[in-house]
């Protein structure tokens, strides 16, 4: 089968098409004939040598796929050979065939194309875990999404809006601001032109927001603390602004704040399986009603994977970048 390999860590041009044997599924695994694979920021970091896959995971890039189940352990009775699924995988998505744990597969909704479905799992698992699992928001609560135009951001905005929350976001261009507001954000703030702290406090009558989904961290952390309401939560999912911050802990004490963080890839099989069940129960109906839709910015064939990575690094995209296998 064709796969994408990393020929020495570095820039996008180190990615190469190679051939490997088709993997064989083990207990509770299925083999998926891959139609498409989502491109994610961790793929960039792994290519650069900054993010090692967990023990036992495939060394190949690719954390989410869509395609057809063609083999594997179907003893659970939930899936059949020929089912069209999207799946969260622990690596190996940039290939013609990929293994997935059976409990991390989801039947593709009728309203979603099989190619666009490849961009759902990583974003949806992350959003549900860090916004609705950690945050425990109630209808009418408010949420700020940093990176509102990212693959994770566009899903967080849509789901929160559909479930009755007030959603605010940040983005880096006016074009992205318009796109994010069209997805349901009450206000998307161009952080290059406005101070999001001042703007959020103005928009919320100085009350702040209940939760911040933060993929920046670094200098943003103290600023996030300033805009949290009492008992508010910061959920950190990435460190694009750096891993070190200076914060005033007195603010945390006064407002009884909580700072949380998580990495999806290293979570247990059971943890991800529970997330999959929650997505089927709560998010799939929203997708079927078209209240939540995939947002795909560009498609690339597998042999143009370097171009896909360059696009992601440029930051021009809104939503997902998909490899068509």
Instruction: Identify each DSSP E strand in the chain by its residue range.
Output: 2-6, 15-19, 29-39, 64-72, 84-88, 97-101, 105-107, 142-145, 166-171, 187-190, 209-214, 228-236, 258-261, 296-301, 320-324
Alpha carbons 90 and 100: distance in angstroms, whole number: 8
Alpha carbons 57 and 62: distance in angstroms, whole number: 11
Task: Retrieve residue 26's tokens.
Answer: 């083990």
Report the predicted TM-score, pTM, of the whole model to 2 decimal places: 0.95
Show pLDDT as tens, one digit a residue, over the chain (325 residues).
999 999 999 999 999 999 999 999 999 999 999 999 999 999 999 999 999 898 889 999 999 999 999 999 999 999 999 999 999 999 999 999 999 999 999 999 999 999 999 999 999 999 999 998 887 788 889 999 999 999 999 999 999 999 999 999 999 999 999 999 999 999 999 999 999 999 999 999 999 999 999 999 999 999 999 999 999 999 999 988 888 999 999 999 999 999 999 889 989 999 999 999 999 999 999 999 999 999 999 999 999 999 999 999 999 999 999 999 9
- Angle, CA of 120, 122 and 126, to the nearest 5°: 115
A 10 A CB-CB count for 251 gives 13
Ordered by where they begin, the domains of the chain are 2-122+265-324 (3.90.180.10), 135-261 (3.40.50.720)
SS (H, E, C) 106-121: EECCCCCCCCHHHHCH
| Three-state secondary-structure class, residue 170 | strand
């Amino acid at each position: 089968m064709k796969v994408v390999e990393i020929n020495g860590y570095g820039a996008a041009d180190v990615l190469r098409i190679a051939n490997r044997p088709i993997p064989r599924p083990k207990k509770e695994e299925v083999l998926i004939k891959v139609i498409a694979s989502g491109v994610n920021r961790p793929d960039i970091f792994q290519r650069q040598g900054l993010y090692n896959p967990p023990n036992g995971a495939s060394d190949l890039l690719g954390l989410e796929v869509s395609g057809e189940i063609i083999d594997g352990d179907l003893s659970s009775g939930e899936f059949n050979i020929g089912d069209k699924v999207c799946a969260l995988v622990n690596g190996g998505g940039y290939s013609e065939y990929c293994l997935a744990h059976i409990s991390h597969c989801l039947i593709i909704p009728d309203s979603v194309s099989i190619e666009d479905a490849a961009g759902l799992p990583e974003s949806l698992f992350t959003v549900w875990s860090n916004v609705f699992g950690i945050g425990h928001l109630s209808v009418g609560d408010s949420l700020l999404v940093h990176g509102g135009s990212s693959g994770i951001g566009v899903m967080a905005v849509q789901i929160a809006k559909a479930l009755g929350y007030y959603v605010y976001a940040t983005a880096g261009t006016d074009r992205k601001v318009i796109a994010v507001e069209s997805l349901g954000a009450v206000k998307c703030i161009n952080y290059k032109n406005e101070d999001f702290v001042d703007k959020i406090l103005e928009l919320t009558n100085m009350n702040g927001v209940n939760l911040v989904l933060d993929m920046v961290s670094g200098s943003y952390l103290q600023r996030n603390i300033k805009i949290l309401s009492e008992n508010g939560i910061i959920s950190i999912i990435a460190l694009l602004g750096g891993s070190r911050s200076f914060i005033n802990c007195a603010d945390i004490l006064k407002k009884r704040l909580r700072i949380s963080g998580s990495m999806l890839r290293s979570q247990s099989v059971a943890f991800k399986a529970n997330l999959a069940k929650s997505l089927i129960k709560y998010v799939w109906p929203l997708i079927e009603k078209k209240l939540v839709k995939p947002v795909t910015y560009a498609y690339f064939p597998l042999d143009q994977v370097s171009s896909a990575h360059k696009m992601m690094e440029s930051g021009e995209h809104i939503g997902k970048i998909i490899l068509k296998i």
